[in-house]
């Protein structure tokens, strides 16, 4: 599948505007391209009980899976607070869980340029049952 990286990043940027992050003030948005070709987006949603916070990537991936998607092909991550914002360890594990036959592509933005990397750059020797 030909992946429109810019479109995916635009969805991540749009979603970051919905971030509920009053505690960290660190907004994040994610755009996820799922196996069907559909794009899902998500933002981080914090909670007064801090551990209940969900990251933008997992928000978007869980939306996709709960809509019937079986795998994810690419994930774009954006934060207005940080150049080249990377996924946290928990999100890497969740991305790996839903990786299909081809490696998930991870898109970040650095100084207005898109970086496209492979899942294995972020999580080598991933764990899956
Ligand atoms: N956050 C994400 O949304 N994605 C990540 O991969 C890193 C962290 C959020 C969680 C929390 O709301 C804020 O960023 C600061 O950690």
Render pLDDT for 15-47 as a digit per residue (tens, 0 to 9): 999 999 999 999 999 999 999 999 999 999 999
Distance CA 21, CA 56 (A): 11
pLDDT, position 16: 98
Q: Determine if the pTM surpasses 0.95.
A: yes
Annotated active-site residue 57? The verdict is yes
Measuring from atom 4 of ligand 1, which residue has the nearest CA?
55
Q: Cα(59) to centroid of ligand 1, in Å? A: 11
In sign, the C-alpha dihedral spanning 73, 91, 68, 47 is negative
Residue 65 above 90 pLDDT?
yes
- Cα-Cα end-to-end distance for the chain: 27
pLDDT at 100: 96
> With pLDDT > 90 as the criterion, what percentage of the chain qualifies?
98
Question: Within 6 Å (CB) of ligand 1, which residues are found?
Answer: 21, 24, 26, 28, 44, 46, 53, 55-57, 87-88, 91
* Domain assignments of the chain as residue spans, ordered by start: 5-122
pLDDT digits (tens, 9 = 90+) for 67-82: 999 999 999 999 999 9
Question: Is residue 1 over pLDDT 90?
Answer: no
Nearest-atom number in ligand 1 for the CA of 90 is 6
Residue 86 alpha carbon, nearest atom of ligand 1: 6
Higher pLDDT, 75 or 2: 75
Question: Does the pLDDT at position 127 exceed 90?
Answer: yes
CATH-assigned architecture of domain 5-122: 3-Layer(aba) Sandwich (3.40)
Among 16, 88, 93, 94, residue to substitute to test ligand 1 (most atoms within 8 Å of Cβ): 88
Percent of the chain residues topping a pLDDT of 70: 100
How confident is the model at residue 87, as a pLDDT?
Answer: 98
CA 54 to centroid of ligand 1, rounded, Å: 7
């Amino acid at each position: 599948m030909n992946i429109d990286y810019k479109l995916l990043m635009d969805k991540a940027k749009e979603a970051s505007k919905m971030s509920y992050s009053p505690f960290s003030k660190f907004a994040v948005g994610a755009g996820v391209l799922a196996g069907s070709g559909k794009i899902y987006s998500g933002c981080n949603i914090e909670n007064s009980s801090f551990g209940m916070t969900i990251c933008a990537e997992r928000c978007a991936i869980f939306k996709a899976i709960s809509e019937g998607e079986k795998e994810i092909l690419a994930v774009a991550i954006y934060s207005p607070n940080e150049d080249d914002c990377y996924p946290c360890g928990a999100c890497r594990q969740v991305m790996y869980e839903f990786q299909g036959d081809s490696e998930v592509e991870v898109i970040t933005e650095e100084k207005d340029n898109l970086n496209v990397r492979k899942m294995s750059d972020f999580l080598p020797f991933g764990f899956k049952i």
